[in-house]
């Protein structure tokens, strides 16, 4: 791939989300025109994306995708649903699997030069206790609907790319953390800092800094090989180590108690059943427990070797994240958000 900066607009899906916002912003900062696919004529976009062009469309509407892709040479497909404990995961499968296939077919019809597809490290499906790489054999089972939907989506994207001769590079991020994120794993970190996390489940965390994840996507456009996957993971550590480092940098000395797996499974079963009975999403459920107890460890070194991605030291990443929490008033316990 040429490293020259293209002048044609770049299409970004998922630009109302954490990663999509940062990626669209980075493209604009490079001086590249950006077109954002959104279902709303007045999307809730970050102010930094004010110069982006809006293309109203839906992943379930191929005609709208064709319009959005008109004149596009490169697209970043970041849109997707990432959630646990959904009462009905059907929408997640529609968006992640069918929506991604629709987008790739539309991209092939439009003759795109390249698509950078945001997959997930969860698609690796590494066996328990192993370190996942791009070539790891899949364990053959799924921990959650999210993991299954992203794995099926990745397979569909690969099938379309082969059948339509479409140049697609897959980027597989671990848990993306950094300034701007308050959901998912970040909720757990904030709960700890605010004294609302008395217990923990023993697990391993694999994370990538949002800035590194964005750079990894940009490098995948210019340096990635068609059809290949690139894991993005800057650090893997036991949850106790992550919490200790977070507490040190935030000035918090609490030590949550680790609960055994059998207790976590029982709690997840009860909470999940209660959520289903109410027809509402629970904050804890069996698929979340399975994911935590399995833990994840990934090797992100291929992105360094092949793409030239340099990862931010984890201490620097967490320090920057804590500073953002403070600046946004997300930490309780006084002006500094510490005890």
pLDDT average, residue stretch 58-79: 98
8 Å CB contact between 132 and 296:
yes
pLDDT band at 185 (very low <50, low <70, confident <90, very high): confident
Strand, helix or coil at 111?
coil
**CA angle, corner 15, sides to 12 and 20, nearest 5?**
85
**Average confidence score pLDDT of the chain:** 92
Strand, helix or coil at 5?
coil
Q: Pick the more confident residue, 185 or 35.
A: 35
133 pLDDT above the threshold of 50: yes
8 Å CB contact between 271 and 291:
no
338 pLDDT above the threshold of 80: no
8 Å CB contact between 97 and 149:
yes
Q: Pick the more confident residue, 198 or 307.
A: 307
157 pLDDT above the threshold of 50: yes
CATH code for the structural domain at 10-178+209-233+299-311: 3.40.50.720
Q: What span, in angstroms and rounded, lies between the C-alpha atoms of 21 and 110?
A: 24
pLDDT average, residue stretch 285-308: 95
Sheet holding 235-238, edge to edge: 175-177, 204-209, 235-238
State the CB neighbour count (10 A cutoff) for residue 251: 14
141 pLDDT above the threshold of 90: yes
- What is the token pair recorded at 133? 């790489």
93 pLDDT above the threshold of 90: yes
pLDDT band at 334 (very low <50, low <70, confident <90, very high): very low
Residue 201 forms beta bridges with which residues?
A: 259
Q: For the chain, what percent of residues have pLDDT higher than 70?
A: 96
- What is the token pair recorded at 256? 């949550």
- What is the token pair recorded at 144? 């959650």
274 pLDDT above the threshold of 80: no
Residue 175 forms beta bridges with which residues?
A: 207
pLDDT value of position 333 = 57
Q: What span, in angstroms and rounded, lies between the C-alpha atoms of 237 and 179?
A: 20
pLDDT band at 272 (very low <50, low <70, confident <90, very high): confident
8 Å CB contact between 69 and 11:
yes
Poorest-pLDDT segment among 82-86, 90-94, 152-156:
82-86
Q: For the chain, what percent of residues have pLDDT higher than 90?
A: 78
Distances (CA, A) of 124 to 134, 151, 291, 296, 299: 7, 8, 13, 10, 11
Q: What is the DSSP string of 46-82?
A: -GGGTTSEEEE--TT-HHHHHHHTTT-SEEEE-----
165 pLDDT above the threshold of 50: yes
pLDDT average, residue stretch 321-338: 77
297 pLDDT above the threshold of 70: yes
Poorest-pLDDT segment among 230-234, 237-241, 312-316:
237-241
pLDDT value of position 336 = 40
State the CB neighbour count (10 A cutoff) for residue 262: 8
Angle, helices 185-193 vs 314-327, to 10°: value is: 70
pLDDT value of position 2 = 43
255 pLDDT above the threshold of 90: no
Of 172, 119, 150, residue with least CA distance to 298: 172
Cβ-in-10-Å burial (0-12, 13-18, 19+) of 88 comes to exposed
pLDDT average, residue stretch 138-142: 96
Of 3, 17, 18, 10, residue with least CA distance to 208: 18
- What is the token pair recorded at 215? 């750079």
- What is the token pair recorded at 212? 């590194």
302 pLDDT above the threshold of 70: yes
pLDDT band at 221 (very low <50, low <70, confident <90, very high): very high
Distances (CA, A) of 238 to 110, 206, 232, 251: 45, 9, 18, 20
pLDDT average, residue stretch 226-249: 95
pLDDT value of position 31 = 97
- The pTM for the full model equals 0.93
């Amino acid at each position: 791939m040429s490293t020259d900066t293209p002048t044609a607009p770049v299409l970004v899906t998922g630009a109302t989300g954490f990663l999509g916002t940062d990626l669209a912003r980075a493209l604009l900062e490079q001086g590249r025109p950006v077109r954002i696919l959104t279902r709303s004529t007045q999307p809730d976009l970050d102010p930094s994306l004010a110069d982006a062009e809006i293309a109203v469309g839906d992943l379930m509407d191929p005609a709208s995708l064709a319009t959005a892709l008109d004149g596009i040479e490169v697209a970043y497909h970041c849109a997707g649903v990432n959630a646990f404990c959904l009462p009905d995961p059907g929408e997640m499968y529609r968006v992640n699997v069918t929506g991604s296939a629709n987008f790739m077919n539309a991209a092939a019809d439009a003759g795109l030069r390249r698509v950078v597809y945001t997959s997930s490290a969860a698609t690796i499906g590494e066996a328990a206790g192993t370190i996942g790489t791009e070539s790891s054999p899949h364990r053959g089972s799924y921990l959650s609907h999210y993991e299954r939907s992203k794995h099926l989506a990745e397979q569909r994207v690969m099938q379309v790319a082969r059948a339509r001769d479409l140049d697609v590079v897959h980027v597989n991020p671990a848990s993306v953390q950094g300034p701007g994120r308050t959901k998912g794993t970040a909720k757990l970190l904030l709960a700890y800092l605010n004294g609302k996390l008395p217990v923990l489940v023993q697990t391993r965390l694999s994370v990538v800094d949002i800035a590194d994840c964005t750079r990894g996507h940009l490098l995948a456009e210019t340096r990635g090989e068609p059809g290949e996957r690139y894991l993005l993971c800057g650090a893997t550590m036991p949850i106790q180590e992550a919490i200790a480092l977070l507490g040190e940098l935030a000035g918090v000395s609490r030590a949550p108690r680790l609960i055994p797996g059998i207790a976590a499974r029982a709690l997840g079963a009860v909470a999940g059943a209660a959520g289903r009975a109410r027809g509402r999403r629970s904050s804890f459920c069996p698929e979340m427990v399975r994911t935590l107890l399995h833990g994840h460890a990934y090797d992100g070194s291929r992105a360094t070797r092949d793409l030239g991605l340099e990862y931010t030291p984890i201490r620097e990443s967490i320090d920057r994240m804590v500073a953002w929490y403070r600046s946004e008033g997300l930490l309780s316990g006084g002006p500094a958000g510490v005890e």
